[in-house]
Amino acid sequence: MLSERMLKALNEQLNKELFSAYFYLGIAAYFKDRSLEGFASWMEGQAEEELGHALRIYDYIFDRGGKVELERIEKPKGEFESPLKAFEAVYLHEVGVTQSIFKLADLAREENDHATYNFLQWFVEEQVEEEASTKAILDKLKIIGGSSQGLFMLDRELGARSAQLRGLLAQKA
């Protein structure tokens, strides 16, 4: 059984993961609007992943006999000065999510909730990957600067990578 504090914190994280899905979808729409289909596809893939994160927490709350409380989801930002600014927002968002997961793990330790602490380790590892992948793209955008040719090439690269990832996921399903 989950403590009240743990349950509240997990429900808050569930809301944050749902917001993350919405956040990525908003940025996907920003890129799609500019015909940067590769960037858009990458962001759509992220939105799907975030929904998966939310569902993991949703299932876990039920598995521990808790009650899921769905709250209002904040409106995400849909306009950015540039693709670089959009990726800066993405990277900062992921750094914030990492902090939030760490706080949850701290709370699980405080509450002597070994099951939740173990459950959260998947998220701890996932955040390392999320920060690294967004930082790598952000760094490339910094190198590209204002070059439209560079942006076009990165768009193609991200599109190909998203298609490959989705193909792998479809094979697993």
Residue closest to 85 by CA, chosen among 1, 142, 144 = 142
Q: Which two tokens stand for residue 53?
A: 């994160």
Distance in angstroms (rounded) separating the CA atoms of residues 117 and 170: 31
Q: How far is CA 167 from the centre of its chain?
A: 20
The footprint of ligand FEO on residues 42-81 (CB under 6 A) is 50, 53
Say whether residue 130 binds ligand FEO (CB under 6 A): yes
3-class secondary-structure state, position 26: helix
| Residue 17 near ligand FEO by CB under 6 A | yes
Contact mark string toward ligand FEO, 82..101, x via CB under 6 A: ------------x--x----
Q: How far is the CB of 21 from ligand FEO (least distance, A)?
A: 8
Shortest Cβ 44–ligand FEO spacing (Å): 14
Nearer to ligand FEO, 56 or 150 (CB): 56
| Contact (Cβ atoms closer than 8 angstroms) between residue 100 and residue 124 | no
Contacts with ligand FEO by CB under 6 A: the residue count is 7
**Rounded CA separation 137/79 (Å):** 19
The residues binding ligand FEO (CB under 6 A) are 17, 20, 50, 53, 94, 97, 130
